[in-house]
C-alpha cells in the first residue's frame, strides 16, 4: 500500500478497464496514464468524436472471471501488480471511478478440472464468494448492481484450454454419443440461491439466550504448566551479612548455617502467579498435562523425579485451595519423543507393547501421589490419529483401558474421582450438500478420525465396522496392506466401557469432497479431497471459524454413543500477536459457546463443561487469553469477555428467570485425609470423650473428699 504501488495499480486498471470505460462513461477520451505511457501509439479523438462517444451506455456491463481477466492478460499491462479475486473491490472502484453507473455482471464464474464430473464443490464455493461480494457491494458500499449472470450454462470447449477445464452448471460427457446435459451440484446450489434471492439468515444459526446448569464446568487449558523448581531464598541455610559501606552486596558468613527446614508449597513463587491469573479469570476448572518424561526420565520406577512430583502436588493443592478443580492429563503427544520418556520413544514408542505396561506403572504413581487432590483425570489427551499407526493405536487403547481399570479398582473408592480419554473431534461436512457420495466420504472420515479410538471405548469394544470394511476393500483392490489389528474377547471387555465421560477437543470444521479435483491435495488412502469454503472467516493460520460445526459434532456424539456426559475439553483459535484487540477470538468464544448452549438446551446433549484453549501465549503462542510480554502477563479482551460469560453462566436475557446457583464450598486438600479415615477418627473421638469424662469425675470426687475432711 505504498503511494507508488497504488498509482501503478490505478494505471493497470486504466489499461485494462479504463481504455474503453473512460471514453464512454466519463469524457469521451482515454485515461491520462495511457496517454503518458503510450504517447504517439495511442490515437487521438477529435472533440466531435469525444462528444459522440461519451454517454453511449445505459449501464456498465462487466465480465469478471478467470479467462480474459487473469489468464490471458498481457503482463506489461499489470505494471508489476497482482491480480485479485475480490469482485467487491472492483465493483466499488468502478462505481467511484465512473460516477456510480448501473452495473450488470454479464459474466462471472470459476472453473474446475476437466476430470471433475457432477460434484463440483470448488465451483460452488467460488460462485458463493462472488455472489456474496456482490451483495456486500450493494448493501455496504452502495454500488448499484442490478443483475448477475453465471458463466456458463454447460461445459464446452474452453479456447486455449480446450476440454481440460469445465465451467458449466450442467455436465456434458464429451465422449458419449448423445452428450446429455446433467445438472451439477453447482446448478442445484444456484437454483436454491435464486429461490432465496440471496443468503437469508438461517434460523438454526441465530444466537439464543439461556443459561447452563449450576454445576457447569468453566475451564481453561494449558498444555503444560511452567514448572519452575528454583529453590526459594527461605531454603538457603547460609547466613549473610550486608556490606552497606563498600560492595553493597550480601557476603556469606563461613562456618555458620541455620537448621535445614522442609520444603513448602509457598516456596514456589511461580505457582502463586499462575493461580492468581486463573482466579482473575473466574474459571472453575484448569486443565493441563503432566510431563511423563520429567517424572520418570528412564520410563520406569527405577528413577523418580520427586522434585517435579512435589511441584505438581503443590500446584494442584493450591488450585483446590482457591476452589479451582484440576483436570490432569497423564500423556499428551509432543513433537519431542511423542511426549514419552526417551527410552520408550527409542524402542518403538506406542508400537512397542511394553509401553503399555510402562504407562500403567506411571499412571499408578500419579494416582498415588496426586490422586488425593485430583478428581478429574484424562489418560490420553488428543492423540493425533493422522500420525498414528494402527498397531500404535491398538496399544494406546489397551494402555488407556488398563489405567482406567487400575483407578477403578484401587483408587476410585477412596479418591472418588473420574477418568476418561480426550479425543480431538473436528467436524467434517460434505462439500456438496446435495451429493450422496460426499456424505459417504464425510461419514467415513468421521469414523477414521474419531470412531477409530472412540468406538472401542464408548461403543461395542471393537473398531468401527466402516473402518474394517474400507480397509478390506482397499487391501483387495490396491497394493496397500493396511492391517487393522483384532482384539481378543477379553481385550474387548477390558476396553469397552472404560470411561466416565466423553472429553473432546474441537477447533474447526473441514469440507470433504469425493471428486479428485486437486491431485496434490487428494488423499488416495481414504479417497477424499479436503477443501474449504472460501467465504468462511479464517484465522491467521487459516483455521476456519465455523461455530455450527461444534453443535453438529456434539449431536453426532450423542447419536453414536448415547446420553454420555460430554466435556468440551479444549476449544480455541489463534490470533495475530501484533494485534492489541483479539476481536477474532472474542467472536469465536462468543459464538462457539452459544452453539454449545444450543446443543445443551435444544438437542438435549448431556454437556457438562467447556474449556477455552489456551491459558497464555507463553506456552501456546498466538492462542492465549493472556499475552506474555517482558516476563509479564497481560489479559486480552477475550479473557474479559470469557469471564463475563462465566459470571453470567451463559447468555441470560431480560426474560430469563433468575436462577440462583448455590455457592460452591471451598475445597480443602487436607479434608480427604479425614474423609478416608472415618473409623479411625470415630475411635479417637471416643477415646478423647472418655478421657474428658474420666478427668471430670476425678476432679469432682477429689473436691468432695477435700470438703469432707475440712
- pLDDT recorded at residue 679: 62
At residue 378's C-alpha, the angle toward residues 503 and 673, to 5°, is 125
- pLDDT recorded at residue 70: 53
Q: For the chain, what are the domain ranges? A: 58-200, 212-237+266-651, 676-709
Instruction: State the pTM of this model.
Output: 0.88
- Give the strand pairing for 250-257 and 238-242: antiparallel
CA–CA dist 586, 603 (Å, integer):
25
- pLDDT recorded at residue 630: 87
Please say whether the structural domain 212-237+266-651 has been given the CATH code 3.40.50.300: no
- pLDDT recorded at residue 687: 81
CA–CA dist 170, 261 (Å, integer):
83
- pLDDT recorded at residue 678: 57
Exposed e or buried b per residue across 222-234, where buried means at least 16 C-beta atoms within 10 angstroms of its C-beta: bbbbebeeeeeee
- pLDDT recorded at residue 672: 47
Chunked into runs of 10 residues, the chain (710 residues) has average pLDDT values of 90 92 97 90 95 97 72 72 87 96 95 93 95 97 97 90 92 92 96 96 94 97 86 69 81 76 74 94 97 95 93 95 97 91 95 97 98 97 93 97 98 97 98 95 97 98 96 78 90 98 98 90 90 94 97 98 98 89 96 98 98 95 93 94 98 76 56 52 75 78 66
Note the helical H segments in 290-352: 292-295, 306-321, 342-346
- pLDDT recorded at residue 675: 47
Measuring CA to CA, which residue among 678, 671, 648, 644 is closest to residue 661?
Answer: 648
Grid cell 526417551 — which residue? Answer: 342
Amino acid at each position: 500500500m505504498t503511494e507508488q504501488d497504488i498509482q501503478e495499480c490505478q494505471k493497470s486498471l486504466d489499461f485494462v478497464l479504463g481504455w474503453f470505460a473512460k471514453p464512454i462513461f466519463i469524457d469521451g477520451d482515454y485515461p491520462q496514464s495511457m496517454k503518458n505511457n503510450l504517447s504517439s501509439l495511442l490515437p487521438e479523438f477529435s472533440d466531435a468524436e469525444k462528444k459522440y462517444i461519451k454517454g453511449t451506455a445505459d449501464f456498465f456491463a462487466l465480465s469478471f472471471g478467470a479467462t480474459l481477466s487473469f489468464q490471458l492478460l498481457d503482463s506489461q499491462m499489470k505494471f508489476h501488480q497482482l491480480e485479485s479475486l475480490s469482485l467487491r473491490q472492483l465493483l466499488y472502484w468502478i462505481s467511484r471511478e465512473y460516477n456510480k453507473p448501473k452495473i450488470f455482471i454479464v459474466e462471472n464464474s470459476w472453473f474446475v478440472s476437466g476430470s471433475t464430473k457432477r460434484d463440483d464443490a470448488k465451483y460452488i464455493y467460488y460462485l458463493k464468494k462472488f455472489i456474496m461480494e456482490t451483495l456486500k457491494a450493494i448493501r455496504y458500499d452502495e454500488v448499484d448492481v442490478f443483475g448477475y449472470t453465471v458463466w456458463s450454462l454447460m461445459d464446452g470447449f474452453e479456447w486455449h484450454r480446450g476440454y481440460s477445464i469445465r465451467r458449466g452448471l450442467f455436465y456434458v460427457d464429451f465422449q458419449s454419443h448423445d452428450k446429455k446435459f446433467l445438472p451439477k451440484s453447482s446448478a442445484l446450489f444456484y437454483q436454491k440461491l435464486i429461490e432465496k434471492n440471496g443468503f437469508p439468515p438461517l434460523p438454526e444459526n441465530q444466537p439464543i439466550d439461556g443459561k447452563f446448569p449450576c454445576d457447569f464446568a468453566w475451564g481453561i487449558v494449558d498444555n503444560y504448566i511452567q514448572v519452575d523448581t528454583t529453590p526459594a531464598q527461605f531454603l538457603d541455610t547460609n547466613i549473610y551479612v550486608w556490606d552497606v559501606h563498600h560492595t553493597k552486596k550480601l557476603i556469606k558468613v563461613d562456618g555458620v548455617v541455620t537448621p535445614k527446614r522442609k520444603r513448602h508449597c509457598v516456596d514456589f513463587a511461580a505457582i502463586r502467579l499462575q493461580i492468581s491469573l486463573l482466579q482473575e479469570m473466574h474459571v472453575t476448572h484448569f486443565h493441563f498435562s503432566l510431563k511423563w518424561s520429567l517424572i520418570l526420565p528412564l520410563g520406569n520406577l527405577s528413577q523418580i523425579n520427586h522434585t517435579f512430583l512435589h511441584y505438581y502436588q503443590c500446584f494442584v493443592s493450591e488450585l483446590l485451595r482457591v476452589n479451582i478443580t484440576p483436570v490432569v492429563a497423564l500423556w499428551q503427544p509432543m513433537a519431542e519423543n511423542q511426549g514419552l520418556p526417551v527410552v520408550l520413544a527409542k524402542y518403538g514408542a506406542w508400537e512397542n507393547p511394553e509401553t503399555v505396561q510402562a504407562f500403567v506403572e506411571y499412571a499408578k504413581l500419579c494416582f498415588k501421589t496426586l490422586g488425593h487432590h485430583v478428581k478429574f483425570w484424562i489418560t490420553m489427551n488428543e492423540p493425533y490419529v493422522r500420525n498414528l499407526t494402527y498397531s500404535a493405536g491398538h496399544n494406546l487403547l489397551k494402555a488407556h483401558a488398563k489405567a482406567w481399570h487400575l483407578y477403578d479398582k484401587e483408587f476410585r473408592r477412596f479418591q472418588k474421582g473420574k477418568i476418561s480419554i480426550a479425543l480431538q473431534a473436528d467436524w467434517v461436512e460434505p462439500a456438496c450438500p446435495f451429493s450422496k457420495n460426499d456424505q459417504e466420504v464425510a461419514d467415513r472420515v468421521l469414523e477414521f478420525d474419531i470412531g477409530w479410538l472412540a468406538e472401542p471405548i464408548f461403543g461395542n469394544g471393537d473398531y468401527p465396522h466402516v473402518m474394517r470394511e474400507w480397509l478390506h476393500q482397499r487391501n483387495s483392490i490396491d497394493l496397500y496392506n493396511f492391517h487393522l489389528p483384532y482384539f481378543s474377547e477379553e481385550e474387548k471387555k477390558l476396553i469397552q466401557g472404560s470411561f466416565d465421560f466423553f472429553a473432546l477437543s474441537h477447533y474447526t470444521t473441514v469440507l470433504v469432497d469425493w471428486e479428485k479435483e486437486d491431485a496434490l491435495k487428494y488423499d488416495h488412502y481414504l479417497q477424499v479431497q479436503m477443501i474449504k469454503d472460501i467465504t468462511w472467516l479464517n484465522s491467521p493460520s487459516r483455521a476456519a471459524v465455523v461455530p455450527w460445526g461444534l453443535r453438529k459434532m456434539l449431536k453426532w456424539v450423542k447419536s453414536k454413543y448415547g446420553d454420555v456426559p460430554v466435556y468440551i475439553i479444549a476449544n480455541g483459535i489463534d490470533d495475530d500477536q501484533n494485534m492489541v484487540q483479539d476481536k477474532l477470538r472474542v467472536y469465536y468464544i462468543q459464538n462457539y459457546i452459544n452453539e454449545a448452549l444450543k446443543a445443551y438446551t435444544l438437542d438435549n446433549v448431556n454437556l457438562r463443561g467447556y474449556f477455552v484453549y489456551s491459558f497464555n501465549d507463553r506456552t501456546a503462542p498466538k492462542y492465549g487469553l493472556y499475552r506474555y510480554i517482558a516476563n509479564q502477563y497481560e489479559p486480552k479482551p477475550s479473557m474479559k469477555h470469557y469471564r463475563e460469560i462465566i459470571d453470567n453462566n451463559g447468555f441470560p436475557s431480560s426474560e430469563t428467570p433468575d436462577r440462583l446457583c448455590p455457592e460452591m464450598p471451598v475445597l480443602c486438600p487436607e479434608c480427604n485425609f479425614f474423609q478416608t479415615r472415618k473409623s479411625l477418627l470415630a475411635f479417637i473421638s471416643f477415646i478423647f470423650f472418655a478421657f474428658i469424662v474420666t478427668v471430670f469425675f476425678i476432679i469432682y470426687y477429689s473436691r468432695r473428699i477435700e470438703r469432707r475432711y475440712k
